[in-house]
Structure 1
């Protein structure tokens, strides 16, 4: 009789952090790494962005060891967009290298810092294939899609963000969490036309159309915008979670949302660590703004790494 191995395969949990350039992906990875580490979760950050040559976090696996955007552009005479596509296709052709690197961290929680080229998540298949291969290796992943919150201040840009987010969700085919990042800076871009929940819950978008038609430039695109809004509302998939990466409460909410999306269940020790971390907030005199206040910072403004912080202690 054939011997059956009763030992179940090791399940690996993690996040693939995606979003447009400048949306705060690398800062998010740093903040989430430090936050989860303080809760007792072993975290491995994987840099899959061949253009990212400045890594503020402790990087366990770096695609730069395999290929870099600068080398591709210099040797193949490609532009930045074509170079990024080549790098991702090269990564796809070298899964053995990636698998060997990842196997060293089987007891870790993974954060994959991904490139910022939007087309990689809406049209091209290489990144989608990389994610699919990770799932075959028994990774349980959630796609964390960051969008700069300042787009909320412009109705036309917000509709564009909604279309991009919807397209990304349909193309990537992973449990998906959309994030409005940099919420601590949103009021610097002007007063919002609606309350924050209008943007996070993507409520009745007809109000956005009214704002657009009041602008002479966008008035002639009324029919187009109506069809885009109709498409977004018909799918009824897009919503956002507001995030301030320096705020404990915001990070706790984000962690719980993502853990629910990818099925991660933490033990009693991590729960006790979370209660201890949050207990410092009890009785504090917090200031709440109309959007999202920083209740208590756990990251210093100069964005210290965990190693530097421990050395100071």
Structure 2
């Protein structure tokens, strides 16, 4: 009997735990069962207490104290330890029925989703037939405020694509905290960020602002520690263009919009999760509501 699950991922501070809490609340209000698994060994606060917590097995603080590792090294050690003690997951998840949505709340260290092969091994264990056999999808969150900084947006999108390629499971990319940008970006402009558009680099507001102010910076003679000089240099622009071109070539990344404080928005995201894990065979994803923009007319 298959189980169903979603792995909530993304950089630190994008609202993963907030989304998990909103998702659990929505499921409970709609009389659906959720099983909440915290896999962040450095987590501290939860709105909903986890049903299974990796900190009961190992925590980053203990590893840092005993092995004298830094936060990132400690996190990687925790996941290596988890992979050596997978019974910790099996014993808790094996008895769950198909009525449950298993929600995995993941850490925010991006290297876990880009070039360290630990998570692909974990995903393979969770999804392999004959064992837990979880129909798993990934929900990769990127904070919506990233769209206000072209370089940050394309870098985040590249990380999202890297996670898609590494994990090889059905994948949803989500712009979280949409309520934070509804007064800073016109609705018609936001559409260009839903699927990364390389032409966004041609009208970067940062460059336009420098031109209006008459600011010219020679990156060859400027202080190497000067952030403005670095980010206005030709090399940095070529890097961003290459990243944008790579995203366009693969054509894999597009975003859904999420406001975790809006139950309708959370419900719409859940419908996409249910669709990709085939929780309901005949269900179609719901339309995701937009925040209220001043220029909706």
| TM-score of the two chains, using structure 2 as the length reference | 0.82
Alpha-carbon separation, structure 2, partners of 1:266 and 1:184: 32
**Retained in 2: the 8 A contact 1:182–1:245?**
yes
* Aligned counterpart, 1:66: 57
Of 141, 151, 156 in structure 2, the residue corresponding to residue 156 of structure 1 is 151
**Retained in 2: the 8 A contact 1:12–1:108?**
yes
Moved over 6 A (4+): none
* Aligned counterpart, 1:167: 162
Alpha-carbon separation, structure 2, partners of 1:151 and 1:173: 25
**Retained in 2: the 8 A contact 1:213–1:219?**
no
**Retained in 1: the 8 A contact 2:177–2:260?**
yes
Q: SS in structure 2 opposite 1:145?
A: strand
How do residues 1-313 of structure 1 correspond to structure 2 at under 5 angstroms? 10-106=1-97, 107-136=99-128, 137-187=132-182, 190-191=184-185, 195-202=189-196, 204-211=197-204, 214=208, 217-221=231-235, 222-265=237-280, 288-290=292-294
Alpha-carbon separation, structure 2, partners of 1:225 and 1:187: 25
Gaps of 5+ in 2: 211-216, 218-230
- Once the two structures are TM-superposed, the CA of residue 61 in structure 1 deviates from its matched residue by 0.7
Aligned-pair Cα RMSD in Å? 2.4
Alpha-carbon separation, structure 2, partners of 1:22 and 1:104: 33
The verdict on how the C-alpha distance between 1:151 and 1:193 changes in structure 2, with shifts beyond 3 A counting, is: farther
Alpha-carbon separation, structure 1, partners of 2:43 and 2:162: 25
Tell which deviates more after alignment, 41-50 or 97-106. 97-106
The verdict on how the C-alpha distance between 1:78 and 1:65 changes in structure 2, with shifts beyond 3 A counting, is: same
User: CA deviation digits over 1:186-244, x for unaligned, max 9?
Assistant: 246x4469622111132x32232342765654341332222211111000000111100
- Once the two structures are TM-superposed, the CA of residue 53 in structure 1 deviates from its matched residue by 2.3
- Once the two structures are TM-superposed, the CA of residue 95 in structure 1 deviates from its matched residue by 0.8
Aligned length: 265
Q: SS in structure 2 opposite 1:59?
A: coil
| TM-score of the two chains, using structure 1 as the length reference | 0.78
The verdict on how the C-alpha distance between 1:291 and 1:154 changes in structure 2, with shifts beyond 3 A counting, is: farther
* Aligned counterpart, 2:224: none
- Once the two structures are TM-superposed, the CA of residue 117 in structure 1 deviates from its matched residue by 0.6
User: CA deviation digits over 1:232-290, x for unaligned, max 9?
Assistant: 1000000111100121221222111111111111799xxxxx9xxxxxxxxxxx98225
Gaps of 5+ in 1: 1-9, 269-273, 275-285, 293-313
**Retained in 2: the 8 A contact 1:182–1:244?**
yes
Q: SS in structure 1 opposite 2:232?
A: helix
